[in-house]
Structure 1
């Protein structure tokens, strides 16, 4: 049973409790619209959860949402999920996301209290580590988690965003791309990425989810017929899977650089006058709600496999073109993957070169192991679970 908590402030008190869909749904949507998030100080985004505020955690093995009330007003919210992943060894981790505090009620301890109550839920479910992600330049978030809650800065992956163009991208005739079954994808992921940081033990559940559109492999022409047979894999190949994040929620740009706005206006004119130009569809409708595809499980083998990754990204881009509302293709790669990052098409203006992941040990007996874990150099790739995007 989850108990309600009352926190006393100087002249006000707020209550933290479990989210109630019937009571809180509309108020939470309003809170979400009041809170601006974005990949940089120049771009601000609003999230439209399409009437399902817990859509981002509903696909996790275990999840919860807490809300904070002040004078019968919903002033804060936080979400958490639990799963088993690969760290140094298998560990149960709790992911913190969706921390929102109304702009009119910040600096009152609401965010701190929400995180602490979520950590208590993690502890009751035997979680080894709690972790979260935030923008590197979000000073308020970094101060809360690092300075007040003793989280440790852990990894700085890059979020790479590529707008979908109105015309298809050209694919190399020397590279063959093919879709593989869920069973074969699970085998490949467990074999080649099973030791990757944050690799989920329930990868089969991820791959079979209705939001996962499939897994594709790229290799040189002529290698497909032998790929995987009797343990054979070509010298150079790559794979990735695609998650339809637009099936959960939509994004809307609330603020953009003047350059983007000018591009948007110009692209509408050019699209009408010169249909052969390949303008990004997003920028011609910059303030309309849009969905996006998330590329996860990006893996490559071989010295020239970067071109395979690029071919796969282009292939997914062309898939996104025929989707009704997909305007972006997004992926997230760790620092170790710098050698593949140049092969992933993206726009710097919309991307985030350094997202910040912070982590905290919740079990006292694991402190020594945790200290060793945080000292491990970034020499291993990072698996970003699409359920947490």
Structure 2
């Protein structure tokens, strides 16, 4: 059989579930230097897109062997104006069949599905140093480098983190959270029009606000807010899939062994529990919709992050707290606790216009440096 006879078709759960999971194991991916791999979708290979408004998974098959897969989702977001965007993720090609055009074919078939659904722009995310992915999308498929957000990862420690007694933290209901997001973040890049669906999803654990002590009762009364305040929402990504650490440097492996010994001998030490179970699958919380107002609100962002960390401590298998912020959000980034060894300070988003009438505005969009915060949808983590 000629290699060109491979075919691309829609994913069939009954037929492909086990084969896609096998493909994932063969194509373990993660940041090139150290970080983590998606290792366990808990029997649901499309778990990462299932909560999107519209989604699809395609597979490539050759002589009854599954040799590639790709996923895509569609939603309406804020760009320069409102736009329908298609997100590309989960591109996998079996190591034995790479450099044969399978990846390009999968992307092109997915783009055709986007176009059939009137998508304005397609975009994808990859690590900046993933040369193979960057070469495929930028050099061969004509995507343009667009944004370089930072993925900030904080391991959950055995001891709670301190929160200033001068800061009050409280949970707000979905209706008030939606109001605040639409009021303060509706012009944020990639802000989803269906933010109400995100907030009401069973994986969204809630939205919390931080302000000065005594400010809770007056918060939002008659449309008035404190000078300094912050908010964020929490998504339980562990409810979809698990992670495990891979490609860890020798120093990290050594630290894992040492930390296990210390935990046994000095149980009172506050060590990152994640490192004691480095290669076991674990869940994580994703912080989204991080927003702050006022010159002193950075302290409130940190207090909220610490609060979520303390929530994660009592979760069954949550070992990380993760958030992603755009390069424009330099004011807030220093206030988000993270461990540099596990974080990716320059992720890469690439974008492509799929409609000819969007090309002019697209060129303007990609030429202008990021001047607004970036909203990272937890459904696409």
- TM-score category, normalised to shorter length: over 0.9
Pairing partner for 1:254 from 246, 250, 261: 246
Q: How many equivalent residue pairs?
A: 381
Pairing partner for 1:285 from 277, 280, 304: 277
Matched residue, 2:100: 108
Query: Residues 35 and 343 of structure 2 are in contact (CA less than 8 Å); yes or no, is this contact kept in structure 1?
Result: no
Equivalent residue runs for 1:160-309 within 5 Å:
160-309=152-301
Which shifted more, 364-373 or 41-50?
A: 41-50
Query: Residues 155 and 334 of structure 1 are in contact (CA less than 8 Å); yes or no, is this contact kept in structure 2?
Result: yes
Query: Residues 43 and 257 of structure 1 are in contact (CA less than 8 Å); yes or no, is this contact kept in structure 2?
Result: no
After superposition, the C-alpha distances for 1:36-59 in whole angstroms (9 at most, x for unaligned) are 222332335242100000000000
Matched residue, 1:336: 328
Residue 374, structure 1, aligned to residue 340, structure 2? no
Query: Which SS does the other structure have where 1:353 is aligned?
Result: coil
Deviation of 1:270 (Å): 1.2
Deviation of 1:386 (Å): 0.2
After superposition, the C-alpha distances for 1:352-373 in whole angstroms (9 at most, x for unaligned) are 0100000000000111111111
Query: Residues 36 and 243 of structure 2 are in contact (CA less than 8 Å); yes or no, is this contact kept in structure 1?
Result: no
Query: Which SS does the other structure have where 1:78 is aligned?
Result: strand
Task: Give the distance between the partners of 1:16 and 1:88, measured in 2 at CA.
Answer: 34
Task: Give the distance between the partners of 1:46 and 1:316, measured in 2 at CA.
Answer: 22
Query: Residues 46 and 254 of structure 1 are in contact (CA less than 8 Å); yes or no, is this contact kept in structure 2?
Result: no
Residue 152, structure 1, aligned to residue 129, structure 2? no
Deviation of 1:268 (Å): 1.3
Matched residue, 1:319: 311
Query: Residues 33 and 247 of structure 2 are in contact (CA less than 8 Å); yes or no, is this contact kept in structure 1?
Result: no
Task: Give the distance between the partners of 2:318 and 2:34, measured in 1 at CA.
Answer: 22
After superposition, the C-alpha distances for 1:137-174 in whole angstroms (9 at most, x for unaligned) are 00010011001111010000000000000111111101
Q: Tell me which stretches of 4 or more aligned residues in structure 1 moved more than 6 Å.
A: none
Matched residue, 1:69: 61
Matched residue, 1:79: 71
Deviation of 1:306 (Å): 0.6
Query: Residues 217 and 237 of structure 1 are in contact (CA less than 8 Å); yes or no, is this contact kept in structure 2?
Result: yes
Query: Residues 56 and 72 of structure 2 are in contact (CA less than 8 Å); yes or no, is this contact kept in structure 1?
Result: yes
Deviation of 1:295 (Å): 0.2
Task: Give the distance between the partners of 2:36 and 2:276, measured in 1 at CA.
Answer: 17
Matched residue, 1:19: 11
Task: Give the distance between the partners of 2:35 and 2:177, measured in 1 at CA.
Answer: 35
Query: Which SS does the other structure have where 1:226 is aligned?
Result: coil
Task: Give the distance between the partners of 2:217 and 2:347, measured in 1 at CA.
Answer: 39
Task: Give the distance between the partners of 1:369 and 1:222, measured in 2 at CA.
Answer: 47
After superposition, the C-alpha distances for 1:225-259 in whole angstroms (9 at most, x for unaligned) are 10000111111100000000000000122331111
Task: Give the distance between the partners of 2:281 and 2:186, measured in 1 at CA.
Answer: 36
Task: Give the distance between the partners of 1:274 and 1:381, measured in 2 at CA.
Answer: 43
Residue segments in structure 2 that go unaligned for 5+ positions in a row: none
Matched residue, 1:353: 345
After superposition, the C-alpha distances for 1:105-153 in whole angstroms (9 at most, x for unaligned) are 1001000000000000000000000000000000010011001111010
Residue segments in structure 1 that go unaligned for 5+ positions in a row: 1-7
Deviation of 1:267 (Å): 1.1
Equivalent residue runs for 1:118-129 within 5 Å:
118-129=110-121
Query: Residues 80 and 95 of structure 1 are in contact (CA less than 8 Å); yes or no, is this contact kept in structure 2?
Result: yes
Task: Give the distance between the partners of 1:146 and 1:49, measured in 2 at CA.
Answer: 29
Rate the CA distance shift 1:195–1:46 in 2: closer, same or farther, 3 A.
Answer: closer
Deviation of 1:12 (Å): 4.6
